[in-house]
Amino acid sequence: MLIRIVKLNFKENYINDFLEIFEPHREHIKTFDGFIFLELYQDTENDQIFFTHSHWKDEIALNNYRNSDYFKTIWSKTKVLFADKPEAWSLAKIES
């Protein structure tokens, strides 16, 4: 299993725009082959910072999603809202 954490920092006036993009697409993301889990978090001290936390069967499944036309469409709408470059980590669970 691959765990993916992505830090997103939005311009303050675009927070609601991001949420309006994310919400309707969340269910469709779950239909991708190899998808396991998705959550969205918001920083408690800086409301412009969000994190997505997703689980994928493996790196191939994540890359298939990331290379899909669907992701490219969502990403093109989202990336114009950023205040800073996103950061991403792919992780393997060691212990639970």
CATH number of the structural domain 2-91:
3.30.70.100
Look at residue 2 in the predicted model and tell me its pLDDT. 97
Tokens linked to 1: 């299993």
pLDDT tens readout for residues 17-33: 999 999 988 888 999 99
- Looking at the chain, the number of H-run helices and the number of E-run strands are 3, 4
**pTM (predicted TM-score):** 0.92
Mean pLDDT across the chain: 96
Structure tokens at 85: 């470059």
The full set of domain ranges for the chain reads 2-91
Cβ atoms of 87 and 8 within 8 Å: the answer is no
Q: Residue 88: which pLDDT band, with cuts at 50, 70 and 90?
A: very high
Confidence of residue 96 (pLDDT cuts 50, 70, 90): confident
Question: What is the predicted pLDDT for the residue at 27?
Answer: 87
The tens digit of pLDDT for each residue in 41-69 reads: 999 999 999 999 999 999 999 999 999 99
